Amino acid sequence: MAGRIIRYLVLGALAVLWLIPLYLLVVNAFTPSAEYSGQPTWVPNGFGFFDNLSIAWTSSGLGAGVLNSLVYATVSAGAAVLAAAAAGFAVVVMRTRFRTLWFWVIYMGTLLPLQIFLIPLFRGYVALDIYDTHLGLILIYAAICVPFAFFIMRNFLTTLPKEVSEAAQLDGAGWWRLFTRIHLPLSKSALFAAFIFQFTWVWNDLLFGITLTATPTARPVMAALAEVSNGFSSLGPPVVLAAAIAVSLPTIVLFLACQRFFVSSLRPLG
């Protein structure tokens, strides 16, 4: 009994420690910028969230950044997940030769630090005239997202019964029909899980956003938020915090909306 009480006390203390920064973030983001004293506010003092967000929205091109990141995250994550599903199908179902080698060749993309790509990417993008363009970021985001999505899809496809493929092939189904009519529908939960992971990663990326863009036309939302943070002293902390909360909402909403697909992907079929 005493051990259980101590365990609950420790867990409660850890929860409070985790919630304190979140509480300060919300309270100070809702504090009107004109009434901010310069010190963290512990007690709500007015409701200036939308005014603070409006200042951030107009001062740094945050609105354009949100739209850009929405395009990048949706298109790049979607393309990467489909490519990863095709690669997983080839490795698991089609019994491609050297399956283990192909797995490591693709998955190795998650093991390399992204910083090593920056200089050759910058030079290549300038040479190809796709620097500071939507196409340039869509391409690199899709490429970076493939390895981890492949890891998810390949592991999920290994849980599907082999009898499904064998029965379809006996009925005359080819590889394309197996992939599009059988394995993709059966892998819907894993596809959603992989998409959520990659959408979140692309949305939260700052490294490529500030390296491969220079103008608000193509700049993603985190690069725009970094510009808001650079104006911390002039705009005030409430404006920066309000912007940070606003740009965090899309990934939270996506996860909550697709939560049942995410959870079901953790349960193997068979």
For residue 62, what are its two tokens? 């945050």
Q: The dihedral of CA 163, 167, 170, 176: what is its sign?
A: negative
Residue 176 has pLDDT above 60, yes or no: yes
The pTM assigned to this predicted structure is 0.82
Residue 178 is assigned to a structural domain of this protein = yes
28 lies in some domain? no
Closest among 184, 193, 187 to 263, alpha carbons compared: 193
Write the pLDDT tens digit of every residue in 11-56.
888 888 888 888 887 887 777 776 776 777 777 777 777 777 787 7
For residue 47, tell me if it sits in a domain.
no
Q: Which one, of 173, 141, 160, lies nearest residue 88 by Cα?
A: 160
| pLDDT confidence band for 1 (50 / 70 / 90) | low
Can you say how many angstroms the Cα of residue 200 is from the centroid of all Cα atoms in its chain?
1
Closest CA to 59 of 230, 213, 251: 230
From the list 153, 151, 143, the residue with the least C-alpha distance to 187 is 153
What pLDDT digit, counting tens, does each position of 82-107 carry? 999 999 988 888 877 887 888 888 88
Please indicate, yes or no, if residue 159 is contained in any of the structural domains: yes
pLDDT surpassing 90 at residue 185: no
Is residue 58 included in any domain, yes or no? no
Q: At 155, which CATH number? A: 1.10.3720.10
Q: For 199-258, how does the pLDDT look when each residue is reduced to its tens digit (9 = 90+)?
A: 999 999 989 998 999 888 889 988 888 877 665 556 677 788 888 888 888 888 887 877
Domain assignment present for residue 53? The answer is no
What b-and-e string marks burial along 212-223, b requiring 16 or more CB atoms within 10 Å of the CB?
bbeebebbbbbb
Domain that holds residue 210: 66-236+244-264
Answer yes or no: is 269 within a domain: no
Q: Round to whole Å and give the CA distance between 262 and 26.
A: 27
Number of domains in the chain: 1
Q: Is position 60 within any domain?
A: no
